[in-house]
Structure 1
Amino acid sequence: MDFSKLGSAKKTQAPTDPIRIFETLPSLSGTFNDLWRGQDKALTEWHVARERQDVLVSLNTGAGKTIVGLLIAQSLVNEGLQNVLYVCSTIDLVRQTSEEADRIGIDHSTRVRKGFSNDLFETGKAFCITTYAALFNGHSALRNRFFPQAIIFDDAHVAESLLRDAFTLRVDLYDHEELFKEIAELFKPHFQELGIAGRFRDALDLSRHSTAFVAPHGLYERSERLLEILLRHGVKDHDELTYPFAWLEDRINACAAVFTRGAFELTPPFLPSLALDIFQQKVRRVYLSATLQSQTDFIRAFGRKPDVTVTPSNDAGNGERLIVSGRKVKNGFGPDFAEKLVETQKVVIAVPDYERAKAWAKVAEPPAREDFSEQLTEFRKADEGAFTLVSRVDGIDLPHDTCRIMIMEGLPSGTSLLERYQWEFLRMNNVHAVRVANRLAQLFGRINRGRNDYGAFLVQGDDLDKWLGNDRNLALLPPLLQKQVLIGREVQDTFGIDSRKQAIALIERVLGRDEGWLDYYQREVKLAELDQDQLARHNAAEPFMVAAALSEAKYAAAMWNDDPTSARRELEKTVDTTAQHDTPLGGWHALWLGAAFEREGDKEAARAAYGHAMRRLGNGMTLPRPAPSAGDKTIPEMNVFGRSLQGLLRYSHGNKFEAEVEKLAQTLALIDHGDPRQAEAGVRALGELLGFTATRPDNDGDTGPDVLWRDDAKQRQLGFELKTDKNDPATYFKKDISQGHDHLEWMAQTYPEYDILGLAFVGPAGKAHAQANPSADMSLCLPSALAALRDELMALIEDLRKHTPMERLIAIGKETEDDRWDIEAIFKRLNPTPMSK
């Protein structure tokens, strides 16, 4: 044997610099020669921060995030970290990412549906490309047998819905009839107790648009019986239900439950990411994301803010887009229009659910799950035709000539029934807007993948069209996409594009590379700007919404670990501040604060928190109400105002009362010591303390008056428009009065069964401009009048505090029944001056 012919047994040290790794890759057919500028900068900045545990790499959709992620994954393998994972949202995206790795010559394994593609990952020689579902399901072999030292999370900005699916158990009437009926029978007495048995019956009906939310105590009291029913029906052996059940089996008490359209869903109210070993232990986590304008959805998914954010400035992925509103076009861009369009063009039709997909069946039926990839490949090769995407915003790439037209119908929504309940019934519009913005950023990237790509997007249906028409929503989108929406508005309005024929002509000129369009687009994309007031609103609220999302994450982890005291303390820190900036979200937090109190055994505090929740969330939420002490007939049954005061005065002595009153006083002081938006928060809090359902429609839903007080018992409503920044004396101009007419119309349409007491402009003394035409329902109210009402109320609280607990209950009952606290009497005490004089 000639041992001199053998090489060294010691291997050359593999490089860890991802750019050096790229330079050493083999020159394969189809491999590109160099990295884009943004990719180079992203990799350089990540390499500097590589030892940090949570690094977010944010690049435009279509800017080559996959290459960046693959090079980072290889760098971590070369460093010697074990079980490096690259996590994708779908199996299709795993395949696409694997093909990209093959194209540039990076060895790897894949894992979908339980099996590895080779032994490279298992033998520690390569990373594994897999799905969120494979990593986060309750029986994950990857997490249990191959616990990772590093993970790359692709499409991190839409990961919240993917993680939500892993923790959601859904039983529907169609697939699990007997199990569903038994669960429904278990909860039937609960809804009878709450007085919403009719709503519950409708929620069991597939044809009814109704949702019945299980109050926390209703789930808590039935958790063992629910568990027994699930086990008896063999949930552990079910092909799909077994995975979420593995997470929820011992944590039903940490969940929320809803019935809607013949389905029952059990899921945590906030994701318990911080309680998971993936996020607790020392794991290097790299998040690949599209450009984020708000961090809240990222935090709701992963429970934390990143340690480092890498956002290289680059124009890769800045594809050209024409966005046309179907609401401005006669008959819109519906199936009849699409049927003719696909005779000569390739079109992707994007819809949020299979119900809407039915209307497009004559154009293109959505493929079955098992046929999806095959039919998508066929569509890529075709010269014409249509392909329907149902609730898919990621993992589908149709760049350049593979498709240049997308018809978009409906707001992209996740599959969570709880999320839909928050949006459709509780009107948690700001929370939903962040989710929609992140999903839209992905959806717009399906047929528009790079700097030299271009395409036309036709918006069909009122909900998405109106959403894009609001600059406050647009502020959540990546900057380029914001400008492209504004350019589309300008083109459509300037040229009066209001017919299908005109729309087709516009599309043909854009896709035909008309020189005039190209010149205009390049010029305007640098100049277009959002409404600065709406942008300022978003920027002012963002820090408080981030704090709210962090509180949710800590609350969820504590409840997951059966520590309601720590959970309660987390939400207590932020719940009132959250309500100042987002009333429905503040109500949702008050609900789960009450659930923590209830788990601690403090039912009185729980019901006080539930009272706040119902006043902030309105008629879509029904929870247990406070009741007088059992057996004492001298205590009157309290109205809503009385329950509000009792909730505050239950701590009549000590630091807790002082702290609660101080927080309340700080908020109410904003009425006459804050800017108009702060004053809105103060007026809303005053109405809530008075026992009204007090909301901020314009802030929370982008339409309606600044503040609305509703007396749900007698069905009356009173609106407020805050103009506290006007000069003194003030002139209320035509624009102000026109807004007032819109607000009154909104009140009449939104709450038609409620009498309108009026709309009060809150601002300095003055009068309406001669060209304005105020209605008799409009009046002027001085901020000092609201401040005087506040001071009177705070003085009453201090007096009531001096009573013994038994005397206090009687005094509260007697005081709050006085006619002077009736909403109409309160309005008169504000001394409103008619604007129509």
Structure 2
Amino acid sequence: MAFVRTTSSGTSHASPGELYRDLPRRPGAVPGLWAHQSEMLKTFTSHANKPDVALELPTGTGKTLTGLLIAEWTRRRRRARVIYACPTQQLARQVAVAAYREGIDTAVLVGRHTEWPDPAHTAYEAADAIAVTTYSSIFNSRPRLAAADLILFDDAHAGEQYVGEAYSVDIGRWRCPFEYTTVLEAIAPALDGVFLERLRDEQPDPSIGNDVRLVVPLRQPGMVNKLDGALRSFSAPHSYRYAMIRAGLASCLVYVAYSGILIRPYLPPTHQNHLFSGARQRVYLSATLGEGGELERAFGRAGILRLEQPDESTAPRYGRRFFVFPEFVEGADPAGLSRAVVAEAGKALILAPRTEIAMADASALAQPGWPVWGIDQVAEGMGAFARLDHGVCGLAARYDGLDLPGDACRAVALDGVPDQDNLQERFLQSRARAGAALASRVRTRVIQGAGRCTRGPGDTAIVLVLSADLSRYLTRPEVVAALDSELQAELRFGRENSQVATDRDVLSNVRAFLHQDTDESWRTQAEPALTDYRHEMPQHMPDGTAALSSCVEEEIQAWAAATIGAWGDASRHAHEVARLAGTGGSATAGYRAYWLYLEAVWADQAAEQTNDAGGRAAAQGLVQRAEQVMGLGSWVRQMAPLPAMQRSALSAVDAVAVNTVATALSAGVNQGKVRRRLGEMHDGLDQRDPSKYEPALTQLGELVGATASKPPTAGRCDSMWCWGNELWLALEAKSDHEPTGVVPHKDIRQANDQLRLLATDRGVDTAPTDSATILISPKPGIHDDGIKGAECHVHLIAPSTMAEVAFDVGSAWEELLTKSADRTVPELRRLVGDTFTARGVLPSQIHERLTHDPVAAKGA
């Protein structure tokens, strides 16, 4: 017979933790709350009426259940609608399954709103069930969900990717060639002729692939209207995205690269979304909250209250990872070693920023006969992959929400630094040198990716670090120090056991790690070392973190004002952002310059509207200030001038180079001889033999107007480039290095001395400001001792970077040889200046291109 009960007035629970005890849980539910979950729920209860609350619960510590309990408690207590938002449909379904086990009713509303099940939609609107949906159901031009009392965002640390994407028109060159060309023509007047010509070429040249430029349509005559006309003509999906930003198009920025064009505001104007901003409360669940305002920037909300883990000791330790760096194993074949490690593990998940990289790696790592899967095979969840005996699965930019616990998968491979998820990130990271504002976001992606196969305290998994750039990233002191102590210890142990090992040693260690049930060596040798390392390595936030946190509220207000065209207010808030960012010193100088430039643009627009000549002059001064803050090779110089503004004069070092080259041209050059020199230079830089490579470096230096030579005295650098007493570059070429292993400590010690020796040779006390030593090596990383001992002027580049510079120098000289005839010296100076600027080979620009990767910790 059916169960019966008498009428009850219902139960009111004082907290989500109290509610948990009364839920009608099903088989498979968690056996009970961990102490840290109970503490977090208790803390949340005391802040249940705050408008924006963030909860930090690291991966594998019960974040989903905590969020579900808050959502269900709020729904029952307030008899109100509650939304639980996830980044993807797959994650939304996972949450619904977890809720079902715990006895919590949900309404899964994902995909097209026209296909939402009526019973589920009705249950949400009646507040009978929690709506489980995706971010995209909230952040679109016409949200179809009824207003909610509470919106809870799971994996909020990934918010920028999913919220920012909603307020972006992203046009891929190969995916949308017509749209790319149409937008390029609309913004063409703001791009210099050479860059524009290179963008229009059917095939990319060797150096343009890494270049990304910023265009601000606001202060280019008629450009906002032209851009609007272009974007209005596009069909879905671009039309949907454009609807999100059209009202504020004048405030949007355009990032341009050969691969695509991105149009978006820097921060998403979420205050215009009534579903989001109208909720009584927004709760953000995150594996890491960050310290520099990343969460606020991602969601466009100021004043988010952070509830960090009350007592770290009550949280379970996530599973154990053994990091393996095949690139660091001297003399090994990294691809072969990686494949052997995956064979030992029996299965692997591969994560990379782009699909083509992930799938290429998956194919390369799979053993004969193993299935190679991609997103299509796991779109509904990872369950089918977990059930495979063997296989590999390659996924792009999926650093969150994939659960492969226990023996479901024992290896995850990471390829590439996920610091350029879109062109805005790429510009800030590579050109504006404002990576400090992205640092937490990038670290979190790596941390989350590394934890996909260690979901619980007892899980163990290999983490393969596949690429040279990611291997190098995970050795940088400022990156490592910002991680929690446990992860710092795992990384240090993994690096050390890759740097000093043979491939046989690595495989032996992998077997010991994977078979701890039968092999005691990991427990007796590795674990004690990891414990010692953990105690030696406290967590330290990077320099500039406090400054970035202090300015985020002003950033949000600045963009809100710009979105509605209140340019005067926008510029005043931008001024405060730049001032506060300046308190971070060199760590946030790039970010400060970025906001100084925005302040200049908005101030210039406001001054034009009020016919304020003084205001326009001040705006032009701000542009010059931004350039000064950025220093040598500033991206600001490549920006289209504000109306009526002249381009800045060449810096002193650039003037030295331009005068040297112009003088040589005016004296007459043998075109055939110059072209032979260019050919010899390119041939030499293609060689590994130092006797061929080093003279080619000196030829390259001479072609960019430097006094270049190989110092004759023993112990000196392989080539020196000196532009008077304005700037020196000492080049240490290790072209004969093998492309595996790490640069040894002795090479760093040698590089440390080069500027001092050069100063002695030239009879001065010290090298000019900003002078640098450039270590050229194909090795993917630096020995730990070398990193600790490096001086701040020492930088590492790959030979390919120097080859790109040489390509651009060759292109510049071909243009000079074609156009220099019958010109006066002043005309030649203008020609050389314009040509070198367009190709990025002025000394200041070369300095920028060669100093992206300091060996020492930033700020050391």
Relative to structure 1, is the Cα distance of residues 453 and 502 closer, same or farther in structure 2, using a 3 angstrom cutoff? same
Letter in 1 for 2:27: S
Q: Distance in 2 between matches of 1:261 and 1:342?
A: 38
Is 1:36 paired with 2:34?
A: yes
CA pair 490-425 structure 1, distance change in 2 beyond 3 A: same
Whole-Å separation in 2 of the counterparts to 1:241 and 1:747: 57
Q: Secondary structure in 2 aligned to 1:455?
A: strand
SS of 2:191's partner is: helix
Aligned partner of 1:664 in structure 2 is: none
Q: Which deviates further from its counterpart, 348-357 or 434-443?
A: 348-357
Among 441, 445, 449, the residue aligned to 2:451: 445
**Paired residues for 1:339-418 under 5 Å:** 341-342=342-343, 345-357=346-358, 359-360=360-361, 361-363=363-365, 369-373=375-379, 376-413=382-419, 415-418=421-424
- In 2 relative to 1, CA 253–760 (structure 1 residues): closer, same or farther, beyond 3 Å? closer
Contact kept? 2:83, 2:130, Cα under 8 Å: yes
- 1:486 counterpart (485, 492, 511): 492
3-state SS of the aligned residue for 1:23?
Answer: helix
Instruction: Indicate the larger mover: 66-75 or 256-265.
Output: 256-265
474, 488, 498: which one aligns with 2:502: 498
Aligned to 1:50: 48
The residue type equivalent to 1:243 in the other structure is Y
Match of 2:626 in 1: 613
Q: Distance in 1 between matches of 2:513 and 2:27?
A: 33
Task: Map 1:159-198 onto structure 2 (within 5 A).
Answer: 159-192=159-192, 196-198=195-197
Match of 1:124, as an amino acid?
A
Question: Deviations 1:97-128 (Å, cap 9, x if unpaired)?
Answer: 11100111111111111243423212221111
1:784-795 equivalences in 2 (<5 Å): none
- Give me the whole-angstrom Cα distance separating, in 2, the residues matched to 1:346 and 1:419: 32
Query: Aligned partners of 2:100 and 2:747: how far apart in 1?
Result: 64
Change over 3 Å in CA distance of 1:745–1:332 after alignment to 2: farther
The residue aligned with 1:250 is 247
> Whole-Å Cα distance in 2 between the matches of residues 151 and 552 of structure 1?
23
Deviations 1:743-780 (A, max 9, x none): 858999xxxxxxx9826799xxxxxxxxxx999x99xx
Q: Which SS does the other structure have where 1:250 is aligned?
A: helix
Residues 293 and 478 of structure 1 are in contact (CA less than 8 Å); yes or no, is this contact kept in structure 2? no
- CA 1:628–1:337: 2 relative to 1, 3 Å: closer
1:741 CA displacement? 3.0
Shift of 1:26: 1.7
For 1:206 and 1:395, locate their aligned partners in 2 and report how far apart those are by CA, in whole Å. Answer: 38
The aligned amino acid for 1:120 is A
- Contact preservation (8 Å) 1:406, 1:457: yes
Q: Report how far residue 428 of structure 1 moved.
A: 2.9
Match for residue 21 of structure 2? Answer: 23
What is the CA RMSD across the aligned residues, in angstroms? 3.9
Give the match for residue 284 of structure 2: 287
Quick one: distance in 2 between partners of 1:553 and 1:14? 39
- Where 1:341 maps in the other structure, the secondary structure is helix
- Deviation of 1:268 after TM superposition, in Å, equals 0.7
Distance 2:345 2:308 in 1: 43
Q: What is the SS of the residue equivalent to 1:582?
A: helix
Aligned-partner Cα distance in 2 for 1:577–1:452: 44
Percentage of pairs with the same residue: 22
**Inter-CA distance 593–202: structure 2 relative to 1 (3 Å threshold):** farther
In the aligned structure 1, how far is the partner of 2:466 from the partner of 2:443?
Answer: 17
Q: Secondary structure at the match of 1:140?
A: coil
Q: The residue matched to 2:48 in structure 1 has which SS? A: coil
Cα displacement (A) at 1:131: 0.9
Q: Distance in 2 between matches of 1:277 and 1:475?
A: 40
Instruction: Report deviation, 1:11.
Output: 4.1
Q: Could you say which residue in structure 1 is the equivalent of 2:238?
A: 241
- Return closer, same or farther for 1:570/1:107 CA change in 2, 3 Å cut-off: same
Does the C-alpha gap of structure 1 residues 736 and 564 become closer, same or farther in structure 2, counting only changes over 3 Å? farther
User: In 2, are the aligned partners of 1:161 and 1:414 still within 8 Å (CA)?
Assistant: no
The two structures have a TM-score, normalised by structure 2, of 0.69
**Does 2:183 correspond to 1:157?**
no
**Which residue in 1 is equivalent to 2:471?**
465
The 2-side partners of 1:75 and 1:107 are apart by 12
Residues 89 and 131, structure 1, Cα contact 8 Å, conserved in 2 = yes
Give the residue type in structure 1 aligned to 2:522: W
Residues 604 and 626, structure 1, Cα contact 8 Å, conserved in 2: no
**Equivalent residue letter for 1:623:** M
- Whether the 8 Å contact between 1:85 and 1:128 is mirrored in structure 2 is yes
Deviation at 1:169, TM superposition (A): 0.4
Name the CA distance, whole Å, in 2 between partners of 1:55 and 1:86. 14
After TM superposition, give the deviation of residue 716 of structure 1 in Å. Answer: 4.6
In the TM superposition, what whole-angstrom CA distance separates every residue of 1:204-260 from its partner, at most 9, and x where no partner exists? 959850323214446673111221222234x3xx1x223321111121111110222
The answer for unaligned runs of 5 or more in structure 2 is 609-614, 654-720, 731-744, 759-764, 772-788, 795-842, 845-860
Deviation, structure 1 residue 196: 4.2
Farther off after superposition, 593-602 or 207-216: 207-216
Q: 1:546 to 1:107 in 2, by over 3 A?
A: same
Residue 76 of structure 1, aligned match among 74, 77, 98: 74
Look up the equivalent residue of 1:47 and give its one-letter code: T
Change (3 A) 1:736 1:529: farther
Deviation, 1:93, is 0.5
Q: Which amino acid aligns with 1:213?
A: L
- AA of the residue aligned to 1:328: F
What is the deviation of 1:350? 1.5
CA-to-partner distance for each residue in 1:59-111, whole Å, 9 max, x for gaps? 12010100000000001101225321111111111011111001111111111
Change in Cα spacing, 1:262 to 1:344, as seen in structure 2 (3 Å) is: closer
Determine whether 1:717 maps to 2:727. Answer: yes
Whole-angstrom CA distance in 2 between matches of 1:464 and 1:197: 31
1:192 deviates by: 3.9
Q: Aligned letter for 1:197? A: L
Q: Which residue of the partner structure matches residue 543 of structure 1?
A: 546
